[in-house]
Structure 1
Amino acid sequence: MKKMKVLIMGFVMVIALSLTACGGGISDETWNKLQDDYTQLVEMHNKVVDYCEANDLVDSMQEVLNTSADIINEAGETEREDLDKESAQAMIDDLEASIESYNGTMKVLGIEQ
């Protein structure tokens, strides 16, 4: 399932962060925001996946889970030096939109955040 893929991409992101922490065309503040949003989204995604698996909701939630997993994977594969200000902001916007979506989903499902 996508959860395992997201976990693996989390480890790839950690490695990428440590290797690219010094470079890039974006500020440290922007890079830190990307890292924080990425981490938050991975944690939320995995909570929702766990809940869906425990309650036989995976099929009905598959589209939402896959969309967020794709955003997470894209962010996890991104290296700092490949980002400019505009692409970093677009990625932050995507991450934050997914976080907002998961906030609503978690509230409806009664999942603690």
Structure 2
Amino acid sequence: MFPGGADMQNLLKQAQQMQADYMALQQELTETEVTASAGGGLVTATVTGDGELKGVKIDPKAVDPEDVETLEDLVLAAVQAAVADSKRMAAEKMGPLGDALGGMGGGLGLPGM
């Protein structure tokens, strides 16, 4: 047995709990949706907390066959705003746990993280 073995066991338990918390938050993020709009609500985009684009809604008033470029710009702006809001929401939910685990992309080299 290593000196301080109980401390090592406690540390391992804490790491396992952090991993479980992290995985639960990741699941919550995949189920949470953020919606943003552009052009005064003419175009709306919905993105999950983990950044997956789920939908785009376009008000018929935004459709002008003579000006497709404006509609493209509105769609792009709505999607970018939704993604930015999604990232901000994810960072807030992850908080200190995300920092401790090295951000959303992984951390600590633990399986599943």
Same fold per superposition (TM over 0.5): no
Structure with max Cα Rg: 2
Q: Whose helix fraction is larger, Structure 1's or Structure 2's?
A: 1
TM-score range normalised by the length of the shorter chain: 0.3 to 0.5
**Relative contact order: is structure 1 or structure 2 higher (C-alpha 8 Å, sep ≥ 6)?**
1
Q: Which has the higher strand share?
A: 2
